[in-house]
Structure 1
């Protein structure tokens, strides 16, 4: 397949998990891809993808919880490839799982910074480049966890991504810019090379996590977690010209659980 032949994609959170899979498949389908992540090993991942696919890829290390990081990443993509056609905003993920009353104020702030601000900043930073280019596509990775237990701040962040998606789509449709999102449910993946919670989970947090896994599994019609491939494919469909008449939509990819 060559859905992304001649296209330049920026994929954030690309060093592992869903982001890595999106970058790999986009490159295999002809795309030129900038992998953006704050992990030190993002350069190695980009080199591996280039070796596997023969595509032109590059890496950029940035903290996307800052606007400066997002702006620098977009500027680097334009410097390397001449333009940006597609942005996949994939950075995010709950840091802690606990009842809302158990969250400390600083932990609430950290969840919003992790799971909302990279997308909010990424959209803002890419828009001047898409406008200069005469259009493009933004795919945001949201979550069906806008309804779920033990992660209220994360749920709020992902609800914000849904609002950003719909509002931006309405505001920029006249500029040939599509803005869409997927809302993944629970997803099975290899162990993370960078843990979601650097401090580790204590015994109570492990018990709360087990309750989240139970809720997520029982809430789906299919009674199982999704696979990485089952999340990657819808993202790339929405990013491609096959979805040219879809904008402002949030596609649940959660085994029937709409969140």
Structure 2
């Protein structure tokens, strides 16, 4: 279901837009009248953006760096004349294993992947919002702040929740809303860019199966959500319909609050 012209006259920056939840959010926002910068480090993000016609533009950068985040915001302003909404969707567990089995470099990689893009993009977009006198940030967190075999990822997403609440308090007086959703397990098409480029060992696949079982069991509905069930709340929070909502982290996990 789409809502015609819900984002008419608005410019959105959607990160992690090449696949999964980010792709669905970006394409639907464009279908609802928004101009959308599709941001990803995958070089096929431009092909995805082309599906939105003239309302979409792809931009490739590394959001694990501040330079990448700043470049994305500059590109949106240059191409569309400003930024109204930022949707921070980059993240995702690289590995799933008991915490004692993580190597230090793997822990650091999880934090870089699932915390730093949100931290950098929030920082990079604020000057644009402060100049225009308004703005909305929707962070995509996770209900996996409570779960097994993903402690570094859980820590990163706990950080995203803290960013959401602290920024909302700090910038409410400047007409800037900051909100988040906390998705649970989500069914998605096979990834074109793998989450773990090194591949999974047989033991890691076993540990991952344990995560899938735990996620389904923790959900009241005993199933994974769909891409559409995740993108709809994100776009509601991004829209003017949610103008009195800020500082909130909305669980979207079939009843599992994380």
Give the whole-Å Cα distance in 1 for the aligned partners of 2:113 and 2:76.
22
Give the whole-Å Cα distance in 2 for the aligned partners of 1:21 and 1:61.
18
- Alignment correspondent of 1:33: 36
TM-score normalized by the length of structure 1: 0.98
After the TM superposition, which segments of 4 or more aligned residues of structure 1 sit over 2 Å from their partners? none
- Alignment correspondent of 2:205: 206
- Alignment correspondent of 2:11: 8
What is the RMSD of the two structures over their aligned residues, measured on CA atoms? 0.5
TM-score normalized by the length of structure 2: 0.98
Q: Given that residues 27 and 51 in structure 2 are in contact (C-alpha distance below 8 angstroms), is that contact kept between their aligned partners in structure 1?
A: no
Give the whole-Å Cα distance in 1 for the aligned partners of 2:60 and 2:197.
19
Alignment gaps of 5+ in structure 2: none
Give the whole-Å Cα distance in 2 for the aligned partners of 1:22 and 1:102.
35
Give the whole-Å Cα distance in 2 for the aligned partners of 1:110 and 1:176.
34
- Alignment correspondent of 2:151: 152
Give the whole-Å Cα distance in 2 for the aligned partners of 1:12 and 1:27.
14
Query: Per-residue deviation at 1:49?
Result: 1.9
Give the whole-Å Cα distance in 2 for the aligned partners of 1:238 and 1:218.
27
Aligned-partner SS, 2:52: helix
Aligned-partner SS, 1:11: strand
| 1:103-151 deviation line (CA, Å, top 9, x unaligned) | 0000000000000000000000000001111111000000000000000
Query: Per-residue deviation at 1:82?
Result: 0.8
Give the whole-Å Cα distance in 2 for the aligned partners of 1:49 and 1:105.
41
- Alignment correspondent of 1:231: 230
| 1:22-70 deviation line (CA, Å, top 9, x unaligned) | 00100000000000000010111111221xxxx4211110000000000
- Alignment correspondent of 2:132: 133
Aligned-partner SS, 1:113: helix
- Alignment correspondent of 2:251: 252
- Alignment correspondent of 1:18: 21
Map residues 40-119 of structure 1 onto 2, 5 A cutoff: 40-50=43-53, 55-119=54-118
